[in-house]
Structure formats: C-alpha cells, structure tokens
Amino acid sequence: MSNPPTLRLKTLIVATLKLDGVRPEDIPDDEPLIGSPRFGLDSIDALELVLALEKEFGVKIGSSEESRRALGSVNALSAYLRAHVSGF
Amino acid sequence: MNPSAALTRNLGPSWGCDFLLWAHHWWPRWVFQPLLMAGTWVGLALLPVQRAHSRRYLTTVFGRPARLVEVWRHFFALTTNLTLMLRAGRGAPVACRMEPDNAAGFDALVTSDRPALFGAFHFGGSDLLGYLLGERGRRVSILRLRVGNSTDTRLLGQRFAGKVSFLWVNNPSELLFDLKVAIEAGDSVALKCDRPEFSSKTEAFQFLGASRLFPFTIYHLAMLFERPVVFCTAVPDEAEDALRVYASPVFTPDPASDREGNTRAARRHFQAVLARLEVLVRRHPFLWFNFLPLNPEAPTAHGPASQRARP
C-alpha cells in the first residue's frame, strides 16, 4: 500500500506519461522507471517527467546524472523530493 | 558521454580534410578537380560497405539497378560538399539564397529573438544550416555525432565561436538533458532528423515509396518546451560557393490544443516536410549523404510506429 506522497507521485507519472491501462497502484515502489520493459519509458519520457516534476514541486533537476538518480524508482524519486522539497 | 569510449571516425585518412583544404587552396582548378575525381574512385574502391548502401539507395530512387558510375557520382557529390564545408569553416563566404516558398516565415522566425528548433537532413548543403544561423547572429546548439576526426565540425566551431556550440548525440540519455539546459538557456537547437539510430522516438512516414521510420524527437521537444520547428534543406546553386535554401512552413505547437491535437498537427507537418524533401531527393539524388541503409520500413502498414503508443 503506497503512502499518500508516493501515490501522488505515481498518479503524476501515469497522468504525465499517459500510461494507458496502468493504474497508479500498478507501479511498484522499487522498480526502475526508465528502461523498464514493463512500462517502456525512454529518455524523452524521462525528460517529460522531469519537466512535470519541476512544475509540480518547484524543484530544479539540473543534470542527467541527478535525474537518473531521482528517476531510479518511485522510492528513489520520493527520497529525492523529500530531500529537495520542503513539506513533501 | 563516456570520454573513454572509443569514437568512431569519419571515412578517409586522418589527414584527408587538411589535405583537401591545402590542395584546393594551392592547386589550380584544372589540377584539383581531376585529382579529386580520381581520388573519389579510390575511395569507392576502398569502401565496399558504403558503396553497397549507395547502390541500394540509388536503385530505390531510380527504380532500376544503379550503375557504378552513378555510385561514383554519389561519392563525388559528398567529396565536393565536404570541400565546401571545410572552406566555409575556414572563412570562405557561402552565399545562401532563400527560395521564396516559406522564406517570409523563416526570416521572421530567424530575425526574431524567439528560440526555435531547426531541423535538417543529411542532404545537400544542409550541414551549413549552422553557418546560416551563425551568420544571422543566432545562438544555436547543433546536435552532432562526435567522431574522432571531425575537422568540419572543429572549423565550424572556431568560425562561429560564441554563436555555435555542439551537443553530442552519442549518448541519448545525456543528450536530452543537455538539450533541456540549452533550450532553457534560450538557445536555438539544430538537429538532423533522418537517422533513426540515436532517436528514442521514431514514427512512420511515407518516403521514397514506403512507410519508413524517422526520428520524431524534434516535435516532442517542440511540444515539451513550446518551441517552433522549421526545417531547412540546401542544394548547391549554379554559382560557385552558393546554396539555394528551402525552408518549410513553421510548425508552432498550439497552446490552445491538447497534446493529441498538437501531435496530429506535427505528424502532418513532418509528412509535408518529407514529401518536399522527396521531391528534392528525386531531383538531386546524389545529394543524399547517408551512406547507410535507407530508413527502415515500418513494421505495420498503417499508422505511426512509435516505440510506445503515445499521443
């Protein structure tokens, strides 16, 4: 069962990337977001997700290395936002 | 990209570009031109893979088996174009004459301060798009494949230092965030849109008698960053060191439309661009500078063939 911030992230991911047929709760907390064969997300999707995260949370993800770490999984993304967004 | 990764190299010897420049400068035309033609035969003999790709491409365009002399003309056109690019990099003026169709929209965009995405193809003098933009004072990041001996790129960077910079496509995951930084900094970006191997998003479009996969990344970037897209192709003019430049209509994502609507409009725009390109390719078949397999045919006959269904 996802906690509310994690569920919010998953909902954002599904909405931003228009993952047809995928419900937020279908996204595992620890599965890689980019490059996973299950979701088929690629580098353009990663870029789109980063832009959506920046807009939603007012955070600046400045490099591909930083984004790769942040988008490692939902858990990794959640940890990244906790570290960079007050009140997340 | 990983700096330790071995870089591929352009065809030919490492001294080839410098020798071309030297020979063009010092030898009279009646010496230079025949030797360039003879050298092209040597290149043709030493590059069987590229020769085979050229023959297959020309056979597709002509609708009949291509002859060896036509493959030679294909190679020779590349050599001639490379010579022009190298000389332009060294400071030789290249006259770019805009064809009237869509010239007004292109000029309006280029002379505005609005950052844009400039698309091109490995066709004719399109590599000189960066020169055209640099000469008009545009700050532009050009996507290139980093190779071990890219003299033309080095010279272009030197000539337009401060105006033209390069983003390397060798590592797509790094590239997209480099692109993000460049676009958010207000740079325009120029990228070629005919080789699918470095693109994460390809879609199928009609081109040279088949539904073929082309990179569609430029339009995804346009929609993500709300930037206009315009394509340029250039072919040699009758005059020496001169190009005729063909601009496409400008595609601008409509903020009032949703993603699906903008994507449909983008597909229509790119199909029209490719239809225009095909006319030029059939008129100037030797200027298609992809000595690679022609864009692969789409796996299905209908609809776009993006790697994942998305609007």
Element (H, E) at A9: helix A4-17
Nearest CA distance, A69 vs chain B (angstrom): 13
Our count of domains for chain B comes to 1
Beta-carbon contacts of B144 under 8 Å, excluding residues fewer than 6 positions away, are B150, B153, B166, B167, B168, B169
Domain residue limits, chain A: 4-84
Average pLDDT over residues A53-62: 88
Q: Touching check for A42 and chain B: CB below 8 Å? A: yes
Per the structure, the complete domain to which residue B229 belongs is given by 94-287
Q: Give the best residue of B1, B117, B170, B173 to mutate against chain A (max A CB count within 10 A).
A: B173
What tokens does B177 get? 């965030």
Rounded CA-CA distance A25/B137 in Å is 51
Rounded CA-CA distance B57/B208 in Å is 10
pLDDT on residue B12:
66
In a domain, B173, yes or no: yes
Question: Which positions of chain B have pLDDT values less than 70?
Answer: 1-13, 148-149, 172-173, 300-311
In a domain, B209, yes or no: yes
Nearest to A68 by CA among B176, B196, B215: B176
3-state secondary structure of B219: helix
Q: Touching check for A36 and chain B: CB below 8 Å? A: no
Nearest CA distance, A88 vs chain B (angstrom): 25
Nearest to B294 by CA among B145, B148, B123, B170: B123
Looking at chain A, which residue has its C-alpha nearest residue B223?
A48
Q: Given a cut of 60, is residue A1 above it in pLDDT?
A: no
Looking at chain A, which residue has its C-alpha nearest residue B198?
A43
Judge contact between B151 and B158, C-beta under 8 A.
Answer: no
Other CB atoms within a 10 A radius of the CB of residue B135 amount to: 15
Cβ contacts of B173 on chain A, cutoff 8 Å:
43, 46, 64, 68
In a domain, B306, yes or no: no
Tell me the ipTM for this assembly.
0.82
The 8-class DSSP code of residue B92 comes to: -
In a domain, B298, yes or no: no
Considering CB atoms only, which of B173, B181, B224 is closest to A43?
A: B173
Angle made by CA atoms B278, B281, B286, in degrees to the nearest 5: 160
The verdict on a CB contact (< 8 Å) between A64 and B201 is no
In a domain, B11, yes or no: no
Q: Touching check for B201 and chain A: CB below 8 Å? A: yes
What's the pLDDT tens digit per position in B41-65? 998 999 999 999 999 999 999 999 9
pLDDT on residue B231:
96
Between A33 and B73, residue with greater pLDDT: B73
Considering CB atoms only, which of A18, A43, A67 is closest to B311?
A: A18
Cβ contacts of B177 on chain A, cutoff 8 Å:
47, 50, 63-64, 67
| Domain A4-84 belongs in CATH node 1.10.1200.10 | yes
In a domain, B234, yes or no: yes
Task: Report the predicted TM-score, pTM, of the whole model to 2 decimal places.
Answer: 0.86
Q: Give the best residue of A22, A43, A49, A55 to mutate against chain B (max B CB count within 10 A).
A: A43
Helices B68-89 and B151-159, axial angle in degrees (round to 10): 30
